[in-house]
């Protein structure tokens, strides 16, 4: 028989038992170490890594209480919580062995033992230990991955009134399991907000799983979201769990949910209503427990009005609605965001002394930022990479339309005039229909009403 891996430590005061186990186990496992005195355990455990420890219940002549075995069991588990300890006991001491299992032993063998059964028990225990180590390693990797992701997705900076209100809403919502719908233009940080809600929630130790609904075709929706079994379609070569199952006990973030087809919306609604899914190719229902956060850059009410989105699904996903303002509507946050990104990229590209001039700040504040925070981030990263001095200047930003002799006041006035003209033209195009105009301008109706009031339209 092929020799198996596995380092076994046997602790028993009976030399005959040690010899018998040495002879029995040596052909089956990588290494067998036998000791009579349990006081050697601390040193051995400190200097070695054993897969399985066979531990006698009693070491003192005439003492059948099992207390010494329980003591050393406790010491072993303190040294290695993943230790696989199998107790060696006399036939009449089964109750003691059961008590040891309650205190952390993995199993017990009674003297005299069945040789074949003992070897099978040890091999199964070795496989169990390897599985536990693998799970632990995966948990460590998942925890590290979670920490790395959170570093990549910090809560975006900003102390403007609009953002402060959003932070308050996050704090209130996070501790509940209420479904959240996040609205906002591309690049405003919808996923960052979703991750912050998850981070502050009771599900923070669970997975945060983001799915770009815009990238899912209708034919793949069911398989990706609910999973499938082998043979359920041509390319289904093995069973696969879907995103709902993978995110169970955590948070499922559905980005760009406004891009879903009506058919996919119906299937999504069913899963949300019933709190269960059915894998493609089977009829068995699987319960799921997710916290749903959705996001879109579209106006969901207009989508409902145009029969492009189910109203009952909208009711289901937006128990709480958070609307992220575009960067041009929170200009007071631009300097703080710019400082944050400058520090981040200066460190990344080893330019720790890099600073920003006052003119550069002004250029950033007066720019329109149609791509919002994402555009600001990419602009500063590129500027940091290409900057050859210790001061970041406006020309390093390479902003479109930056070359102008206008004053700050002129720039603000020009932007206002452009915005006002765009609103008037949109309203004229749709004969005063605010909803249609807002959709064309890619802003919310609330924002459009505020702009109309500001410009006296």
Q: Is 106 helix (H, G, I), strand (E, B) or coil?
A: coil
Residues 130-145, mean pLDDT to the nearest whole number: 70
Structure confidence by residue, pLDDT tens digits, 11-59: 998 899 999 999 999 999 989 999 999 999 998 887 888 899 999 988 8
Decide if 266 is inside a domain: yes
**Which DSSP string do the residues of 214-241 spell out, in sequence order?**
GG--HHHHHHHHHEE-TTSSTT--S-EE
Highest mean pLDDT among 90-104, 130-144, 294-308: 294-308
Q: Is 68 helix (H, G, I), strand (E, B) or coil?
A: helix
Domain identity same for 31 and 98: yes
Q: Give the gyration radius of the chain's Cα atoms.
A: 32
CATH number, residue 360: 1.10.8.60
Structure confidence by residue, pLDDT tens digits, 54-73: 999 888 766 677 888 899 99
Domain identity same for 105 and 168: no
pLDDT of residue 261: 93
Residues 294-301, mean pLDDT to the nearest whole number: 96
> What is the C-alpha to C-alpha distance for residues 8 and 16, in angstroms, rounded to an integer?
17
Of 113, 133, 153, which one is at a domain's C-terminal end?
A: 133
pLDDT of residue 373: 93
Structure confidence by residue, pLDDT tens digits, 158-201: 889 999 999 999 999 999 999 999 999 999 999 999 999 999 99
Domain identity same for 127 and 172: no
Domain identity same for 203 and 318: yes
Decide if 145 is inside a domain: no
The number of distinct structural domains making up the chain is 4
CATH number, residue 100: 3.40.50.2300
Structure confidence by residue, pLDDT tens digits, 400-432: 754 334 445 445 555 677 788 888 888 888 888
Decide if 338 is inside a domain: yes
Residue 296 has pLDDT above 80, yes or no: yes
pLDDT of residue 139: 67
> What is the C-alpha to C-alpha distance for residues 289 and 293, in angstroms, rounded to an integer?
13
Mean pLDDT of the chain: 87
The residue range of the domain holding 65 is 7-133
Q: Do the beta carbons of residue 126 and residue 5 sit within 8 Å?
A: yes
Domain identity same for 357 and 300: no
Residue 153 has pLDDT above 70, yes or no: no
**Any idea which residue has 């206008």 for tokens?**
406
Domain identity same for 338 and 319: no
Decide if 22 is inside a domain: yes
Q: Which of 168-182, 226-240, 331-345, 360-374 has the lowest mean pLDDT?
A: 226-240
The more confident residue out of 137 and 180 is 180
> What is the C-alpha to C-alpha distance for residues 347 and 291, in angstroms, rounded to an integer?
36
Residues 267-294, mean pLDDT to the nearest whole number: 92
Domain identity same for 184 and 279: yes
Domain identity same for 59 and 126: yes
Of 294, 310, 325, which one is at a domain's C-terminal end?
A: 325
Decide if 150 is inside a domain: no
Instruction: Return the number of other C-beta atoms located less than 10 Å from residue 399's C-beta.
Output: 18
**Any idea which residue has 């509507």 for tokens?**
329
Residue 390 has pLDDT above 60, yes or no: yes
Residue 445 CB-density burial (10 A; 0-12 exposed, 13-18 middle, 19+ buried): middle
Decide if 270 is inside a domain: yes
Residues 325-332, mean pLDDT to the nearest whole number: 94
Decide if 84 is inside a domain: yes
The more confident residue out of 456 and 315 is 315
Domain identity same for 349 and 207: no
Domain identity same for 62 and 190: no
Decide if 413 is inside a domain: yes
Domain identity same for 108 and 171: no
pLDDT of residue 81: 82
Instruction: Return the number of other C-beta atoms located less than 10 Å from residue 167's C-beta.
Output: 14
Instruction: Return the number of other C-beta atoms located less than 10 Å from residue 338's C-beta.
Output: 22
Question: What percentage of the chain exceeds 90 in pLDDT?
Answer: 56
pLDDT of residue 402: 41
Q: Is 12 helix (H, G, I), strand (E, B) or coil?
A: coil
CATH number, residue 430: 1.10.10.60
Residues 437-457, mean pLDDT to the nearest whole number: 80
Residues 354-371, mean pLDDT to the nearest whole number: 94
Domain identity same for 430 and 291: no
CATH number, residue 269: 3.40.50.300
Of 133, 152, 185, which one is at a domain's C-terminal end?
A: 133
């Amino acid at each position: 028989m092929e020799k198996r891996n596995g380092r076994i430590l046997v602790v028993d005061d009976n030399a005959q038992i040690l010899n018998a186990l040495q002879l029995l186990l040596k052909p089956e496992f990588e290494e067998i170490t036998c000791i009579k005195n349990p006081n050697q355990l601390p040193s051995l455990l400190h200097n070695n890594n054993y897969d399985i420890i066979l531990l006698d219940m009693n070491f003192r002549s005439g003492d059948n209480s099992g207390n010494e075995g329980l003591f050393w069991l406790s010491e072993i588990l303190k040294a290695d919580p993943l230790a696989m300890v199998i107790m060696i006991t006399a036939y009449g001491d089964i109750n003691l062995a059961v008590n040891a299992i309650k205190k952390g032993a993995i199993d017990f063998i009674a003297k005299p033992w069945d040789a074949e059964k003992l070897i099978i028990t040890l091999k199964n225990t070795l496989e169990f230990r390897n599985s536990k180590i693998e799970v632990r390693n995966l948990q460590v990797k998942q925890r590290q991955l979670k920490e790395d992701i959170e570093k990549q997705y910090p809560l975006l900076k900003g102390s403007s009134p609009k953002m402060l209100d959003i932070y308050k809403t996050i704090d209130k919502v996070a501790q509940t399991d209420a479904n959240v719908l996040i609205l906002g233009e591309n690049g405003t940080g919808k996923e960052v907000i979703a991750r912050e809600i998850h981070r502050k929630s009771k599900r923070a130790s669970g997975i945060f799983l983001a799915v770009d609904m815009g990238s899912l075709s209708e034919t793949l929706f069911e398989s990706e979201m609910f999973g499938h079994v082998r043979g359920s379609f041509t390319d289904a070569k093995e069973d696969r769990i879907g995103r709902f199952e993978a995110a169970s006990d955590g948070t499922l973030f559905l980005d760009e949910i406004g891009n879903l087809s009506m058919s996919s919306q119906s299937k999504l609604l069913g899963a949300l209503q019933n709190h269960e899914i059915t894998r493609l190719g089977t009829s068995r229902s699987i319960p799921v427990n997710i916290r749903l956060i959705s996001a879109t850059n579209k106006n969901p009410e207009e989508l409902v009005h145009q029969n492009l989105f189910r109203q009952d699904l909208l009711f289901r996903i937006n128990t709480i609605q958070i609307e992220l303002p575009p960067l041009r509507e929170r200009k007071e946050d631009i300097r703080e965001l710019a400082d944050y990104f400058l520090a981040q990229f200066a460190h990344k590209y080893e330019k720790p002394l890099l600073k920003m001039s006052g003119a550069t700040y002004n250029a950033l504040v007066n720019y329109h930022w149609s791509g919002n925070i994402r555009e600001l981030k990419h602009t500063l990263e590129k500027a940091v990479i290409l900057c050859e001095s210790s001061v970041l200047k406006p020309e390093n930003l390479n902003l479109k339309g930056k070359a102008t002799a206008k004053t700050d006041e002129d720039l603000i006035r020009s932007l206002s005039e452009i915005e006002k003209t765009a609103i008037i033209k949109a309203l004229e195009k749709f004969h005063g229909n605010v909803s249609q105009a807002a959709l064309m301008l890619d802003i919310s109706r609330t924002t459009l009403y505020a702009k109309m009031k500001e410009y006296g339209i």
